[in-house]
């Protein structure tokens, strides 16, 4: 029941947040296309209103552009690297229709977003700072500020040494998710650094942050030099869990060379079921080889527990070369 409540509440909040972005211009007849690895929970908010279309980010950019031509979205939501890869294939018709592009899950600079917006013919490209644990943390709004989403999350920016909240300057993001009743996150250390600057006058009263400094996870590297963002690796792991219906308690994905990976999981049911282990391993291999090529090695292990001493500072996605 709790889970149902969480799922039915969250999208409307999410859509409400999106509503701010085009300056209130978002209405029920418009369509959002999510280029992502796992489908969104809902494809509309009932009666076909506020339609949300899912396009897999694992298919090639030319194909994605073709689907966008059929779907004719008004709003596009995707990773900045995916946006860049589909940009050369977007038709003028698709570009002209776009009212807004929301980028998320990876770092992008204001200059990069403005340059893409120009290439799109003017549709604003705005950043969404979010995480699975804390949901929407801050949105870059048409006023030009990043505003904390104070109706979805309570954020403290703390000194990394003393862990005491600071009013100005650069500190760690610590958040309490106000939506997730199924799995509460209270004073969760997100691991990102942000800078709080001068609060400029604005019609929106949510606190402003000046800059998002960075994420804790590493990007992976392909043998041809292409950077694969940590967000893509995280997406692959979601897609994997979603497809095979497992419930991972903890995980670690380490890239040890351009073609080798060490993957460690804590999953009790999988630990007891060698057949399912084999199936899930093959599926993971399949997903990773779409991105990294067939020539990959995976050292896959399932553990009862991760070592205690490494739990606090462990990064789940890291590159070791």
Where along the sequence are the contacts to Zn ion (CB under 5 A)? 143, 145, 202, 204
* DSSP string for 198-251: -----S--SPEE-EEEE-SSPPEE-TTS-EE-HHHHHHHHHHHHHHHT---SEE
CB of 203 to Zn ion, least distance (A): 7
User: Cβ(109)–Cβ(160) under 8 Å?
Assistant: no
Closer residue to Zn ion in complex, CB, 143/221: 143
Given the complex with Zn ion, which of 158 and 204 has the nearer CB atom?
204
| Kind and range of the H or E run holding 9 | helix 2-20
Complex with Zn ion: residue 34 or 136, whichever CB lies closer: 136
Sign of the C-alpha dihedral, residues 281, 301, 3, 102? negative
User: Which CB sits closer to Zn ion, 58 or 204?
Assistant: 204
Pairing of strands 188-196, 169-177: antiparallel
Least spacing, CB of residue 204 vs Zn ion, in Å:
5
Handedness of CA 127, 113, 289, 70 (dihedral sign): positive
Q: How far is the CB of 54 from Zn ion (least distance, A)?
A: 30
Q: Of 182 and 202, which has the nearer Cβ to Zn ion? A: 202
Chain center to CA of 144: 21
- DSSP for 34-79 reads EEESS--S-SSSSTT-SEEEEEETTS-HHHHHHHHHHH--SEEEE-
Q: Which is nearer to Zn ion, 141 or 253 (CB)?
A: 141
Instruction: Report residue 226 as tokens.
Output: 């292409």
Q: How far is the CB of 24 from Zn ion (least distance, A)?
A: 14
**Least CB distance from residue 148 to Zn ion, whole Å?**
11
- The least distance separating Zn ion from the CB of residue 178, rounded to whole angstroms, comes to 21
Tokens of 118: 């120009």
In the complex, minimum distance from the CB of residue 157 to Zn ion, in angstroms, rounded to a whole number: 18
Smaller CB separation from Zn ion, 153 or 209: 209
């Amino acid at each position: 029941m709790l889970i149902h409540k969480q799922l039915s509440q969250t999208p409307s909040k999410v859509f409400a947040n999106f509503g701010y972005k085009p300056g209130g211009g978002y209405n029920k007849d418009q369509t959002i296309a999510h280029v992502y690895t796992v489908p969104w929970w809902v494809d509309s908010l009932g009666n076909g209103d506020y339609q949300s279309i899912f396009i897999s980010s694992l298919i090639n950019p030319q194909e994605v552009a073709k689907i966008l031509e059929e779907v004719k979205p008004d709003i596009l939501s995707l990773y900045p690297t995916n946006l860049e890869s589909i940009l050369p294939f977007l038709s003028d018709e698709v570009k002209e229709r776009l009212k807004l592009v929301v980028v998320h899950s990876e770092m992008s600079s204001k200059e990069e977003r403005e340059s893409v917006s120009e290439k799109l013919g003017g549709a604003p490209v705005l950043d969404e700072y979010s995480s699975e644990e804390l949901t929407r943390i801050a949105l870059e709004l048409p006023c030009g500020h990043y505003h904390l989403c104070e109706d979805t999350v309570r954020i403290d920016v703390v000194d990394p040494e003393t862990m005491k909240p600071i009013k100005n300057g650069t500190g760690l993001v610590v958040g309490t998710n106000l939506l997730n009743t199924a799995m509460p996150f209270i004073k969760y250390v997100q691991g990102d650094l942000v800078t709080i600057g001068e609060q400029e006058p604005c019609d929106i009263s949510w606190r402003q942050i000046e800059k998002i400094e960075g994420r804790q996870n590493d990007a992976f590297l392909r043998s041809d030099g292409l950077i694969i963002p940590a967000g893509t690796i995280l997406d692959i792991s979601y897609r994997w869990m979603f497809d095979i219906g497992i419930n991972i308690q903890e995980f670690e994905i380490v890239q040890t060379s351009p073609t080798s990976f060490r993957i460690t999981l804590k999953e009790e049911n999988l630990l007891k079921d060698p057949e399912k282990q084999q199936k899930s391993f093959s599926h993971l291999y399949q997903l990773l080889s779409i991105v990294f090529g067939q020539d990959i090695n995976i050292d896959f292990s399932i553990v009862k527990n991760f070592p205690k001493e490494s739990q606090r500072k462990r990064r789940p996605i890291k590159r070791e070369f």
